[in-house]
Amino acid sequence: MKYTPFLTIGMVLLTIVRSQAASFYIDPSLGKQTNDGSITAPWRTLEEVVSDGLIQSYVYQPLPYNAASSKLVAFNISAPVQPGDTLILRSGLHGNLFLKNYNNALPITLMAGPGETPVLEEVHLQACSNWILDGLTVSSEPYGHYLSDKLIYLESHGWQGPTKNITIRNCHIYST
């Protein structure tokens, strides 16, 4: 019993260390996927950050989703981007954002850098939770074509699970 205070202090310190969220940078003009995502060595596009597994998140298991029995299980465990972090996008074309089963304990923020105009072709979040999109442009027009479907699609999925706690603010969403 006398070790309990030390264990409690250790757990509090561990929580404090991780509670300091990190920021990562993405720049389609100057970035490289082999970079570390820092302000001086940004990644290239948001689409590539997702496809390269650089975001740790959680997926419901087992599937099909059942509110009573499905539990969240971590994936991309060693990824640099963790729940609570921010991805800062610089001007340019960032591709499509398709996230499937990206559920976070803390929100991950995708935001435009100060004075920047990042453009996503479309956004599709399926069975995702705790995401913030801030100051982004969503349009297929800069990509040279017109999407006749949805530019932003938030999908709760019977097999994969619900989509919830998604915040979209200060975004410019348009089509031709």
Q: Domain range holding 108?
A: 21-173
Q: Is 127 domain-assigned?
A: yes
Is 4 part of any domain? no
pTM score, two decimals?
A: 0.86
pLDDT tens track, the chain, 176 positions: 444 444 344 344 334 445 589 999 999 999 999 999 999 999 999 999 999 999 999 999 999 999 999 999 999 999 999 999 999 999 999 999 999 999 999 999 999 999 999 999 999 999 999 999 999 999 999 998 887 678 999 999 889 999 999 999 999 999 87
- 8 domain residue, yes or no: no
In one-letter notation, the amino acid at residue 8 is T
Q: How many angstroms separate the CA atoms of 55 and 81, rounded? A: 5
3 state DSSP class of 18 = helix
Residue 16 lies in a domain: no
Peptide bond into 42 cis (omega under 30): no
1 in any annotated domain: no
Q: Is 120 inside any structural domain? A: yes
